[in-house]
Structures are given as structure tokens and as C-alpha cells.
Structure 1
Amino acid sequence: MTLIRIARPDELPALVEYPGDTERNAATREYLGQLLDRKCTRPEWCLVAEGSDGRPSGSVVLWTIPGHEVPLAVVLFEAPEDSPETGIALLDAAAAKARELGATELEHVVDSPAQAPQFQRDPQRRGELLRGARFTVVRDGLRFSHQVSGELPADDPRLDFRSLADLGRQPFIDVLQELLADTADARLAADVQRHGLRRAAELLFEETAELRHEPDWWEIGYDADGTPAVVSLPAENPSVPVIGFVGVIPAHRGKGYAVSVVRRSTRVLAANGATEVRGDCDRANVAMARAFRSAGYENFAARLEFSRPL
């Protein structure tokens, strides 16, 4: 039976090292070092499978938002190619640890193609291991990135933006509720099914608010007729500025506002120092994917989001 244990101090932040793969080793070492420094993880949240030489042959690290004590996801999941049982054991151990710490759900994302800092090679095999550990796919998504350079397009003159600082929370919950009523996002639709429309809107607001943002960044854009048309929730996660959430009210779709609101979120983040902005959407949300591309974003990866109830 493979021994799963907490990584020793001398094994941090390297964990599993791959001979001859200096780019991957350096990137993942730096990434874990940053997670530890930012309190996104703790040394006792870094689990390894011990190889025959006593060194890590596999790893899994619990992750959370800075300042939180309950894990939300696993990162840096590595399993020996010749031992799927070890990979599943690592995921089970991470789930047990997260449950002890108060988590009710644990997430993991698999990006392809493989890239820094996690280098998730062989996504099909990773998916099989996750399913073997009772994770299921909750969203098939696309990831987008925009390198901010030069002057950004002007805001859409048809929209009058008012911020969270001016409006308060309630109008944002109302708009999110209207958007979620016919969302094309599988994960958000599942939240509506599980919690009801109003609570799902509140949870979307609250979960996005966990990311760093300022009240004047978050805005509702009003059409000339005075009704809400778009919502823009840009933010910063621990790694990069992001389009936390954007949406167009159903009554105002077909006017090109999806591109306008992506550009607005981008402008807000750029004005606050962002040089790169990332966003994502469900693959089924064709209109939003088109809006990202039209706003100058590049689809740089696909992302499968997995979740396991605890």
C-alpha cells in the first residue's frame, strides 16, 4: 500500500521533480512557493505519495482564497504513470483532509494544452483518475486572455454605468437573478437547480466578491430607456486580473452589449494596473465566447472543471 503523508519541509516547494524537465520543475516550484507565501495553502495541506526511495512520487495540494481557512480545490496533482491507485489514493486523502477542515465540496480543474505552472499533461488520464476518485465534470469551459497594450476601445455610449459604491448590493442581486433564469453556464444552472434562483444569484455575488475588487469596479450598465442592460464584475484572483462575471439582460440581447461589457471590465482592470486580463465561459455559451474574441481576447486553453461533494 502506498504511503500518503504530509510533505516534509525539505520537500517544499519542489514536491515531485521530473528528471530533465527543468521548465516544469522551476515553474511548479515557484507556484507552490507563491501559494504558501499568499496563504492560499499551508505546509500541512501539501500531501505526497512516498516512493520507494522515500521521496515524493506523487502529490496533491489543497488550495483556498487568501485569508480563508477552508480548502476549496486541489492543485499540483501528480500521480505516477504506472499506478492509478496511487493517484486515486492521493485525491481521497485530500478529500478527507478537506472534509476535516470543514469543506463540503472540493474542486479541481484540468486545462489543455498543458502549460505553466501546473503542466497538466495527459488530460485524459487525469480525468480518469478524477472520476475514479468520485469527481464529476461540472463545466466544460474555454479560457481567454487579453494582453493590455495601447489605448483600449471607448466605452459604448449607449450604456450608462453605475457602480456598486453608488447602488449598493441589492440591484446587483436582482440583475444576477434575471441573468441566471436562462443561463447557458452548466455550473450556474446547477446552482439554480440546487439552491433556487434567488439564492443562486446571492451565491454568485458572494463568491465573486471573495476575489479582490473595489466597489467602484463593479457596475451595472443602463440602457437609454433606464433599464439595466449589463452587469460587469471585474476582479483580481491571486494570480491574475479576471473578468469575474459579465452578462447581458435577456431583454437587451442582440444589441452588441456582450462585447461592450467585456471591454468595460477590461478597461476597469487596465486602469488599475492590469497588463493581462483573463476570462472564461462555458463552451455552450457561444455568445459569450464570441464576445471575448470580438473584444480582442485569445482562447488559449480549454478547461474541464471537476467537483466532488464531501
Structure 2
Amino acid sequence: MTVTFSACSAPGDGLEAVLAFTTDEPVAWIGADRYRQESAAHNYRPEWSWLAARDGQPVGRALWWGGADASIPSTLDDVVVAVSDPEERVAIASGLITAGAESFGTLPEWIVDVAVDWESDPRAVAAVGWRADAARAAGLTRLTERVSVAWTPASDVPSPAASSGLTFRGGTDDEFLDLFRRVTVGSLDAHTQATVAQLGPSGTAADDLAFYRSLPGSRDDWRIAVDPDGLTVGFVLATRTAYDAAISYIGVLPQHRGRGVVDALLAEGLRVHDAAGEPRVVATTDAANTPMRRAFERAGFTVTKRRIVFDS
């Protein structure tokens, strides 16, 4: 039996077969209505929507997502494979990922959203398990579990008061580049650790600055925190995702950690969004980053889901 992998090169070329896939596995997946809505915004595209066919019959699909102006996708959002044999399922999924990566010239991270308590559900554990096998086979060898959180002005716990004596100001790109570099020291973030190992602190800082500058939202909403002695202690980026206001980055300089600075930074980011009338603010952090998870809890954020991220 032969399995082939191909993109939907035009809206009518295999797209209906791609959208016909469903799954009862307890992981997030993209339905036809959601796909069409995102496609109208140019976030899903035929050339980023791939189909696996075995002897001419559709057996799997993969959907990549990217910004409306992007030339290549930034994430793999969805892989569904409709075969029962575990080894064949993994092979088809990894084949889809590899074929897409070769076409795009890059291997985007794969995001799998699961329930908050997914580890207590054997079916969810199995669904993540075979996807992890497929990810590794395709070259996505690093797995990070992240926690997604959300805050609303009506949250039971209000945003923490900025009672630390800190003041906040904007900053130049050069200032933020230096701050991104300095906060890599001792970072608990898995992505930062991996990027530092690959690019070094300065390369990581340049990569971070370019990425966060590319996000929606106003660059004027980036804030640097200064203590009463005039010393810079950290920074917060109040930005947006494609869908919500977001706290995208909080950095505390190593010598100022453990003093509650993170609470004041988070409060400032929330103040910026609340002043703009944002009805919801989202954020994510590594499940293993206990200090940041506790800061979000203190600020009144609630956990909305877990996110499994496969990366290279």
C-alpha cells in the first residue's frame, strides 16, 4: 500500500476531503466552520493544508496556521489520522509533518491543546502519546507542556496593586534588546533555555525582539520597570495574539528576582489592557515554571487549558 502526501494547491483541490476529517480523541482539533472562518482571515490556506492518501483514499490531514501576512506558517495546529494501527498512524502523521516542512523550508512547532486535567484521562494520554511519537519521528524532538491562563476585569481576584514603589516607562529597541539578553540568565522558560543553547544570549535576544515586534498590538505598550533608586529591575510586554489582548513576556533581571517584582510587572501589563477596555487578557507559561504560574494565580488569572508544544 502506498501513502502519498499533498497540499491542497487550490481551494477546491482536495480541500473538502481535508475538512471531512473529525476525531473523538480528547484533544483540540479544527472543524470545518473554524477552518473557513480562519481561512477568510488568511490564517489557514490551501497550500498549508495537507492530505495523506493511502491507495487514493484519504487517511489523514495536517493543518498549519500563520499570520495573514506571513509567507510561511508559524505553527502546526492539527493532525488527524483515521487508521487504527498504531505504527501506521504514527508513520502517516510524521509523513505529513515532514512533507509540509520540506515544502515550507522550515519545521514549525506543533501545538496540541488538551484539557486542564488531561493526565487523568487515559484516552487523552494515549492521544498525546502517539502524537509525541510522530513528532519525534518528524524531527520535533523537544516537548514542553504549557499552561494557558486568562484574566477578565470581573475576575474574583483583582489585579495586584503596584505597591512596590516601581515606576514604569517605555524604552527603545536597543534597551529592550539588552534586557532580553540579561534576563536569559537563570531563565526557567524551556524555549529560552533551548534558544540560548543554540544561539547564545545575544542571538536569543535578537530573536526575541524580532518576534515580539511582529505581534499585533501597540509597541508603545511595552514597559520597563524602575525602582526608587533609578535601577531597571525588569519589563513587561502588553501585546496581542491574533484573538486576544495578551501578556506576552515578563522579564525580571536576575539580581532582582524573588522580591515581588513579577507581581508589579503583571499588574502594569493588566493596567495597560484594562485602560484600553480589553474584556479579556491571556497568557501562557511553562507548566514547570512554578513561580510564574503562582504569579498568574495571585493576579486572578484562571487556567483555561494545557498546551503540549512539540518543537525542534
Summarize the alignment of residues 120-139 of structure 1 with structure 2, pairs less than 5 Å apart.
Answer: 121=124, 122-139=127-144
TM-score (norm 2): 0.83
Unaligned ranges ≥5, structure 1: none
Identify which range, 125-134 or 81-90, moves more after superposition.
81-90
> Matched residues, percent identical?
23
The one of 282, 286, 290 equivalent to 2:294 is 290
* Partner SS, residue 293 of structure 1: helix
TM-score (norm 1): 0.84
In the alignment, structure 1 residue 43 sits paired with structure 2 residue 46: yes
Contact 2:93 2:134 in 1 (8 A): no
Note the C-alpha offset of 1:192: 0.8
Summarize the alignment of residues 51-70 of structure 1 with structure 2, pairs less than 5 Å apart.
Answer: 54=57, 56-70=58-72
* 1:98 partner letter: A
Contact 1:88 1:130 in 2 (8 A): no
Q: What is the distance in 2 between the residues matched to 1:140 and 1:75?
A: 15
Summarize the alignment of residues 115-194 of structure 1 with structure 2, pairs less than 5 Å apart.
Answer: 121=124, 122-149=127-154, 152-156=159-163, 158-163=165-170, 167-194=171-198
Q: What is the distance in 1 between the residues matched to 2:291 and 2:73?
A: 33
Residue 245 of structure 2 corresponds to: 241
Displaced runs of 4+ in structure 1, greater than 6 A? none
Q: How many residues align?
A: 295
Contact 1:138 1:187 in 2 (8 A): no
In the alignment, structure 1 residue 75 sits paired with structure 2 residue 91: no
Note the C-alpha offset of 1:305: 1.4
* Partner SS, residue 216 of structure 1: helix
Cα gap change, 1:13 to 1:33, in 2 (>3 Å): farther
Cα gap change, 1:249 to 1:265, in 2 (>3 Å): same
Q: What is the distance in 1 between the residues matched to 2:85 and 2:49?
A: 20
Note the C-alpha offset of 1:92: 2.8
Note the C-alpha offset of 1:13: 7.7
Note the C-alpha offset of 1:135: 1.8
Unaligned ranges ≥5, structure 2: 118-122
Note the C-alpha offset of 1:71: 2.0
Residue 33 of structure 1 corresponds to: 36
* 2:113 partner letter: D
Residue 2 of structure 1 corresponds to: 3
Q: What is the distance in 2 between the residues matched to 1:81 and 1:148?
A: 45
Residue 275 of structure 2 corresponds to: 271
1:152-205 CA deviation, whole Å, 9 max, x = no partner?
Answer: 554345111111xxx211111111111101111121011111111111111112
Q: What is the distance in 2 between the residues matched to 1:145 and 1:71?
A: 25
Residue 99 of structure 1 corresponds to: 102
Note the C-alpha offset of 1:289: 1.1
Residue 120 of structure 2 corresponds to: none
In the alignment, structure 1 residue 17 sits paired with structure 2 residue 18: no
Residue 227 of structure 2 corresponds to: 223
Identify which range, 290-299 or 29-38, moves more after superposition.
29-38
Contact 1:64 1:72 in 2 (8 A): yes
* 2:147 partner letter: L
Identify which range, 219-228 or 67-76, moves more after superposition.
67-76
1:15-55 CA deviation, whole Å, 9 max, x = no partner?
Answer: 41359x9xx88x6223322331222231121112347895x
Cα gap change, 1:58 to 1:204, in 2 (>3 Å): same
Q: Over aligned residues, Cα RMSD in angstroms?
A: 2.8
* 1:145 partner letter: A
Q: What is the distance in 1 between the residues matched to 2:50 and 2:223?
A: 41
* 1:11 partner letter: E
* 1:160 partner letter: T
Cα gap change, 1:82 to 1:13, in 2 (>3 Å): closer
Q: What is the distance in 2 between the residues matched to 1:95 and 1:211?
A: 27
Contact 1:139 1:185 in 2 (8 A): no
Q: What is the distance in 2 between the residues matched to 1:182 and 1:152?
A: 27
Cα gap change, 1:283 to 1:86, in 2 (>3 Å): closer
Cα gap change, 1:100 to 1:126, in 2 (>3 Å): closer
Note the C-alpha offset of 1:139: 2.4
Cα gap change, 1:192 to 1:42, in 2 (>3 Å): same
* Partner SS, residue 180 of structure 1: coil
Note the C-alpha offset of 1:261: 1.3
Cα gap change, 1:101 to 1:81, in 2 (>3 Å): closer
* 2:301 partner letter: Y
Note the C-alpha offset of 1:268: 1.7
Q: What is the distance in 2 between the residues matched to 1:92 and 1:211?
A: 31
